[in-house]
Each structure stands twice: as structure tokens, then as C-alpha cells.
């Protein structure tokens, strides 16, 4: 699978793959069995400043959509491990210098804040609050 390489030369292809994942997020039978691996790759891409803004944004959108559809399933099957990793990376990305990006367009830091907001709304408060507190 192309995601194993995470090669900068394949950025357009990886972008298309994550656009497809975003379309399939509603179909749990498609993504469910592969979700841990896809989340790991999305985290690697979204936190890597060497990738283009568009690719980082599409992976952050994927992680945001996961919160809405899979957060409770992830917690049930994997504990808080994935939620913790996602929130940690979200805070790291949200802390990037906003001057690195065009102020008229969405940027990884603003997308990360949106993603964090989604997790704060969808994950039960008693589980997500300690994680947010840890990274604040």
C-alpha cells in the first residue's frame, strides 16, 4: 500500500488516498478493520511539515471525521491510546507558527484546532478532559 512508503514524491497519490478515506468514513466495514494503521499514517503525515499544506489538511480532516464516527469504538477496542496520540499531535500542530501559512486559507494549525474541538465534543468528558489537561 502506498501509505507504507510515505514518500514525498507520492504526495499527490497519498492525498487522493486520504480523500477516498474521507468519503468512506461513513462505512464502518470498509475502514474499521484498518483504522489503527490508517490513523498512525494520518498522524505521521499531518505532523510532518515537509508535506504540503493540502495533504496535511486532508489527513487532519480524516482525523476529525474519525472523532465523529469512531471515537467510542476506538476507546472500546484500544483504550485511550489512539485518542491520546491524536490529541497530542493536534496540540503540536496547533502550536505551529501561523505566519508560516497564508492567512486567507485554512492552515494545519487552524485545522488542528477544529479537530481538537471535535474530539472535545464527541469523546466523553471524563475521558477526554484529562488528556486535554495533560497537553495544555
Question: How many other CB atoms sit within 10 Å of the CB of residue 29?
Answer: 7
Mean pLDDT, range 79-98, rounded to an integer: 95
Query: In three state form, how does the secondary structure of 6-70 look?
Result: CCHHHHHHHHHHHHHHHHHCCCHHHHHHHHHHHHHHHHHHHHCCCCCHHHHHHHHHHHHHHHHHH
pTM reported for the whole predicted model? 0.89
* Interval 6-33: pLDDT, tens: 566 789 999 999 999 999 998 888 888 8
CB of 53 closer than 8 Å to CB of 98 = no
Residue 1's pLDDT is 44
**Per-residue model confidence as pLDDT tens digits over 40-53:** 999 999 999 999 99
Whether residue 92 is predicted with pLDDT greater than 70 in this model: the reply is: yes
Amino acid at each position: 500500500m502506498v501509505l507504507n512508503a510515505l514518500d514525498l514524491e507520492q504526495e499527490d497519490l497519498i492525498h487522493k488516498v486520504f480523500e477516498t478515506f474521507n468519503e468512506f468514513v461513513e462505512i464502518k466495514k470498509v475502514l474499521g478493520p484498518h483504522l489503527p494503521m490508517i490513523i498512525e499514517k494520518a498522524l505521521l503525515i499531518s505532523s510532518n511539515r515537509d508535506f504540503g499544506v493540502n495533504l496535511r489538511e486532508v489527513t487532519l480532516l480524516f482525523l476529525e471525521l474519525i472523532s465523529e464516527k469512531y471515537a467510542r469504538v476506538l476507546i472500546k477496542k484500544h483504550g485511550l491510546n489512539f485518542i491520546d496520540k491524536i490529541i497530542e499531535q493536534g496540540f503540536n500542530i496547533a502550536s505551529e507558527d501561523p505566519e508560516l501559512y497564508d492567512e486567507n486559507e485554512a492552515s494545519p494549525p487552524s485545522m488542528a484546532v477544529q479537530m481538537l474541538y471535535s474530539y472535545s465534543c464527541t469523546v466523553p468528558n471524563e475521558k477526554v478532559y484529562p488528556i486535554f489537561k495533560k497537553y495544555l
